[in-house]
Amino acid sequence: MTETIQPFRIEIPQADLDYLHDRLAHARWPGELPGAGWTRGMPLAQLTELAEYWRTQYDWRAQEASLNRYPQFITEIDGQPIHFLHVRSDRPGAKPLLITHGFPSSVAEFLRLIEPLVDPAEGQAFHVVAPSLPGYAFSTPLAGAGWTMGRTARAWVELMRRLGYDRYGVHGGDIGAGVSGVVGGLDGAHVIGVHVVTDPLTAANTATFLPGMADRLDPNDPVDKLILDRMDAFRTDGSGYLAIQNSRPQTIGYGLVDSPLLQLAWIAEKVHEWTDLPVDRDQLLTNVSLYWFTGSGASAAHTLYEQAHSHDWGAPPTAPQGFAVFGADETVRRLIPVPAGTHWTEFDRGLHFPALEAPAQLAADLRTFFTPLS
């Protein structure tokens, strides 16, 4: 293993862009049953329109330049290439903050969050470190099996050590929330706080994987009944994408790497289901494009497989914890009991992707949580 950190710049060859446009122009489209709507997956009309926009109007070069405005680097940790954004603030007292994305996402999720953190109108500023998860985007190729949340967290601890940060905060959502929590447990001597985001759907979906959770809930209690209904809906109607990646990542990987339509639908469907505020279409397509150009749909699926078959969760964090709940209702408190005095902020709107849906509110909550910590 080398500790070398090398500058990185995104430069997708024009031939790759031309190939994408050609594949979209000559796509084979399935039929659609009348009246199905969203009940059987992404409707034909919505995907046709989005694919045509991707082919004819979306400007990858402009988005590539937007990403390249932020300093990027690549290093090797535990045999795995790790790509990351490292954006330092020039504000006095800026605090290092490690932010981790989830699935089906990438560092493109943070494009509207970084500036309010690095250069806020007022209040606490941050030096932002945003890695691409192993197997995602430019943290590829996946060097081998075993990239669980725990192993990723150990890599993040090593990354922050290499960058020379003695005290730092961590933040994440989805997989990033799990990784951030493990970082807090592994590196308690250096982590000042762990901030995560969640929402009612994510909390209920996660509860389906907790042994005995359904038995602990009372169907006669209205809040518990709502949780049980959401858990049942996820098991019967919403978990197919996860089931196939958790069991057959290689098989679904052939389609994700070879078909831009499948990669587009695979992500756009989840963004539709897991948001309740508008998401910028270009930012969505930048995320999809990163998966497509790097062929990381398959390797991301393999890391989901690893997590589903792992018990490598690490110890709970010892640093202060903060929770930002988007689209909040009474179910999340029931599912995530926390000690009195824990930082807990509820937002009426937004769901699974607050950095896409409500970056200003998320940035403000990060400032509120981390300002008093040192």
- Give the model confidence (pLDDT) of 50-83 as tens digits: 999 999 999 999 999 999 999 999 999 999 999 9
Q: What average pLDDT is seen over the chain?
A: 97
pTM beyond 0.85, yes or no: yes
31: in domain: no
Distance CA 322, CA 95 (A): 16
Which tokens in the block code for residue 216?
Answer: 């602990």
- At residue 2, the pLDDT reads 65
β-partners of residue 187 are none
- At residue 311, the pLDDT reads 87
- Each residue's pLDDT tens digit, 269-317: 999 999 999 999 999 999 999 999 999 999 999 999 999 999 888 888 9
Residues with active-site annotation = 174, 305, 352
Check if the beta carbon of residue 228 is closer than 8 Å to that of residue 208.
no
34: in domain: no
- Each residue's pLDDT tens digit, 321-349: 999 999 999 999 999 999 989 999 999 99
- Number of residues that this document lists for the chain: 374
208: in domain: no
- At residue 315, the pLDDT reads 83
162: in domain: yes
Q: What is the CA radius of gyration of the chain?
A: 20
- Each residue's pLDDT tens digit, 44-59: 999 999 999 999 999 9
- If one counts every other C-beta atom within 10 angstroms of the C-beta of residue 200, the result is 20
Is the per-residue pLDDT at 40 higher than 90? Answer: yes
Domain ranges, residue 187: 41-199+239-370
Distance CA 33, CA 29 (A): 13
Is the per-residue pLDDT at 1 higher than 70? Answer: no
Check if the beta carbon of residue 113 is closer than 8 Å to that of residue 129.
no
- If one counts every other C-beta atom within 10 angstroms of the C-beta of residue 96, the result is 22
29: in domain: no
The CATH number that applies at residue 364 is 3.40.50.1820
35: in domain: no
297: in domain: yes
Q: Which of 94, 60, 78, 92 shows the shortest CA–CA distance to 131?
A: 78
Distance CA 29, CA 183 (A): 44
207: in domain: no
Is the per-residue pLDDT at 254 higher than 60? Answer: yes
- Each residue's pLDDT tens digit, 91-146: 999 999 999 999 999 999 999 999 999 999 999 999 999 999 999 999 999 999 99
Count the domains in the chain.
1
